[in-house]
Structure 1
Amino acid sequence: MTAKRKETGAAYLRVGTTIYKRVQQPLSSGRSIEILLAWNVETLRQDFGKDYLARIPKYDGFCTVPDHTNYRREIHGFLNRYEPIPFQPAEGDFPHIRGFLSHIFGEQVEMGYDYLQLLYLRPLQRLPVLLLVSSERNTGKTTFLNLLKLIFGGNVTFNTNEDFRSQFNDDWAGKLLICVDEVLLNRREDSERIKNLSTARSYKAEAKGRDRREVEFFGKFVLCSNNERNPVLIEAAETRYWVRRIPPLTHDDQQLLARMQTEIPGLLFFLQRRTLSTREESRLWFSPRLLATEALRRIIHYNRSKPEAEMLSIIRDILDGEKLEEYQFDVSDMVNMLEIRGIRVDHPTVRRTLTESWQLRPAPPTYYQRYTITYNGLTQRQESKTARIYTVTRKLLDELLNDVSGL
């Protein structure tokens, strides 16, 4: 007769009609993560006997319900895929974390605490895409990602640029944070995907060999890059990014992450009792004006197309040359002046810049004074006409030139 294995504390369970074994998978870092492995029923019967099958926990299916302060593994007969975080709050100081967060968030450190507090206490709250950039080394960007991983455990996933672009995205399902180190997602389709996911309530999850399915999405993106100019395509009217340039650390502490790990219970205790320094002012919580950092302006300026940059130059020349406070023009006026400057562009491209990037709307057919530029760079009046015109004020021009349009 085949000898039966003794049960050694390994947890078996049935979800729907499938048997799983809950195991601790070792990681190269020395830590381990809990995963569920599909298990063979016959093997389980051979190991523990047929009567054991009746004793294993049974669930109707999986669910994903994030909660860090009142976590439940089972909810109405469903097994919660969301992981409990590894630490419980306990009163205590956290000087290393406090100093490190001051380094990462600088003058916006209170917003940084708000960001962590919202992640911890309101995991369903949508938040801006946090992008940390610096061309210098030893800045602590990757250490920040690792700190988030320590705090939120298995609810944080690290992706590569290729992972992000892959059609197979099931491993994102149910994650609180999607982190990408050394990000370079400067294609328009990358930008659109990030923007859409940052405000999405659900998305289509797809795994190899399985049909796509719609799942609830509450993930937030944290990106790091050594490229300060164009790690991600960000347009002038975009309000979904919080970009911070991170300076080098003043000294190199190889044990910093380990020191911060011991302080996490004190940080969580602080976050539970702290009063938020901001209030909800947008769908991503923070007011867009708070996200208008110099690092964001630099990326927007670099990503500006040549036609758009030339349009701004033309408008500035006319406002200055004619001493105007506002300039009115129709799309044909601008197309003709761009051609004089040696840039061939079609009407839809100009119209898209005006309406999408600059957030302008055309007025009903209006009789207006036309101005144009000449081949020698001078401005002059033209015969007035009636058309659907756009108006750019000097204030708006200054905002656009400073790359904070719409913020």
Structure 2
Amino acid sequence: MNEVVIKEEELKTSLPTMSIGDIVRVADKYYQLVETPEKERTWAPRDKGELKQDGINLMEVKKFHGWTVKHSITNYQYTIGKWLNLSMPSQRHPKEGDFPTIKKLFTHIFGEQVELGYDRYTLLVKQPEQLQPILVLCSKEQGTGKTTLLNFDKALFGQNAVILNVSQYEQQFNGIFASKLVIGIDETVISKTFIKERLKQDSTAAEIQLRKMHAEHKSLPFFGKYTLCTNKETDFIQLEEEDMRFWIRKVEKIEGKFDETFFDKLVQEIPAFLHFLLHREMHVPKPLSRQWFSKEQIHTDALDRVLEESKSTLYEDIKVFAEEQIYRSGKDLHITVSELKGALNGKYDAKEIIKCLRQEWKKEPPKQQRYTPYCGSELKNGRPYLFAAKGVLQDT
């Protein structure tokens, strides 16, 4: 997907084609557009019998085939053909100006990757359907700006953004976030494998099953982009080397005197920030992966620490043993599965060791060969795995 060019005449959001109080029929059910006390719009179910009692002429009600989702800040439409849009119009409109407070926040959050941070938000505004990595902000400290970014996202994208906790995300019913563009999950600790797999699946899914209580499940286009915040720095999730869906940044504590007007300034600068995003040139102008950025571009030391913490106990035991033998001999270590099993005092069976060597150590099954065992001096036949002294000692 190449970069979308927004024309000047498209910079203002289309006037809403629906008003508060409007009633529609979607498939065989009726809904009314209402405004909550928090000034948010939503489609509230209405009973057909009650509408008749209220004197509503059902023949004049607009009819739609079903629901869809299409996000747009610049050219929003309530209806897409005969489908009703579950996303909501933006209340923010671009206007040229400065945004020093937003720059300060983004520089603090994204550091040396700040241009990639701007790219992330440019894509959200101009190409909301483009897949993106899951952004993770981690820090043990308070006052780092992690939650401030989630609240800024909510202010920027309005009803098309939501902030959840893990329990809300893992529950069966997903109506709270299925139609959202930006999904923030605060105080994240992903202790269950299925939550991690669900996050990975959702972050690359083109559709999602909308599940609401007492309602038929239905498929919707899904464009949710995730931002996770956690007070854990290394053990909030178990990752594997192949997990390039995660962009993990360690965020430092904000230095200086607390500014109680900081968030208000952020909100006031949103029009200027939108204008900037709509007119800037992308730092990464073309997609380098399904999620736009390459694995190398979003790599961080924080990711390396999470990957290291994610290693199994068996991996660590093998690593300690290999290091000891290589330090002692000064040579490469050749060792078979059965020898490794004995060296680890039988704590693990052969199948576990082979799986660890293949998945975590990335070692291919060895061929039959002559080798010198670690605990002897005479050559023997076997299928030893090689632990190169240079590679093992570099990792310590």
State the TM-score, normalized to the length of structure 1: 0.83
Q: 2:45 aligns with which of 18, 38, 54?
A: 38
Residue 263 of structure 2 aligns to a residue whose secondary structure is: helix
1:75 matched to which residue of 2? 80
1:344 matched to which residue of 2? 347
Please tell me whether residue 306 in structure 1 is matched to residue 313 in structure 2.
Answer: yes
Matched ranges for 1:2-401 at <5 A: 10-27=21-38, 32-47=39-54, 49-50=55-56, 52-250=57-255, 251-278=257-284, 279-324=286-331, 327-339=333-345, 344-363=347-366, 365-372=367-374, 380-381=376-377, 383-387=379-383, 390-393=385-388, 397=392, 401=395
Residue 233 of structure 1 aligns to a residue whose secondary structure is: coil
Deviations 1:267-326 (A, max 9, x none): 1111122222224222222222233322222223333222111212233334444444x6
CA spacing shift, 1:123–1:307, aligned 2, 3 Å: same
Residue 276 of structure 1 aligns to a residue whose secondary structure is: coil
**After the TM superposition, which of the residue ranges 120-129 and 96-105 deviates more from structure 2?**
120-129
In structure 2, how many angstroms separate the alpha carbons of the residues matched to 1:381 and 1:14?
83
Contact 1:368 1:384 in 2 (8 A): yes
Post-superposition offset of 1:129: 1.4
Contact 2:30 2:47 in 1 (8 A): yes
Aligned residue identity for 1:123 = P
Contact 2:323 2:393 in 1 (8 A): no
Residue 26 of structure 1 aligns to a residue whose secondary structure is: coil
Residue 362 of structure 2 aligns to a residue whose secondary structure is: coil
Post-superposition offset of 1:99: 0.9
In structure 2, how many angstroms separate the alpha carbons of the residues matched to 1:221 and 1:164?
11
In structure 2, how many angstroms separate the alpha carbons of the residues matched to 1:268 and 1:398?
49
In structure 1, how many angstroms separate the alpha carbons of the residues matched to 2:63 and 2:216?
24
Aligned residue identity for 2:136 = L
Residue 372 of structure 1 aligns to a residue whose secondary structure is: coil
Contact 2:67 2:220 in 1 (8 A): no
Post-superposition offset of 1:257: 1.6
Deviations 1:160-185 (A, max 9, x none): 12112212223332222221111121
Deviations 1:186-223 (A, max 9, x none): 23333233233333333444332345444433322211
In structure 2, how many angstroms separate the alpha carbons of the residues matched to 1:145 and 1:90?
23
Gaps of 5+ in 1: 1-7, 374-379, 403-407
Contact 2:69 2:222 in 1 (8 A): no
In structure 2, how many angstroms separate the alpha carbons of the residues matched to 1:204 and 1:330?
48
CA spacing shift, 1:336–1:219, aligned 2, 3 Å: farther
CA spacing shift, 1:78–1:202, aligned 2, 3 Å: closer
Aligned residue identity for 1:157 = V
CA spacing shift, 1:204–1:357, aligned 2, 3 Å: farther
Residue 58 of structure 1 aligns to a residue whose secondary structure is: strand
Gaps of 5+ in 2: 1-18
**After the TM superposition, which of the residue ranges 64-73 and 136-145 deviates more from structure 2?**
64-73
Residue 114 of structure 1 aligns to a residue whose secondary structure is: helix
Aligned residue identity for 1:25 = T
Residue 172 of structure 1 aligns to a residue whose secondary structure is: coil
Contact 1:236 1:358 in 2 (8 A): no
Post-superposition offset of 1:19: 1.6
Post-superposition offset of 1:147: 0.6
State the TM-score, normalized to the length of structure 2: 0.85
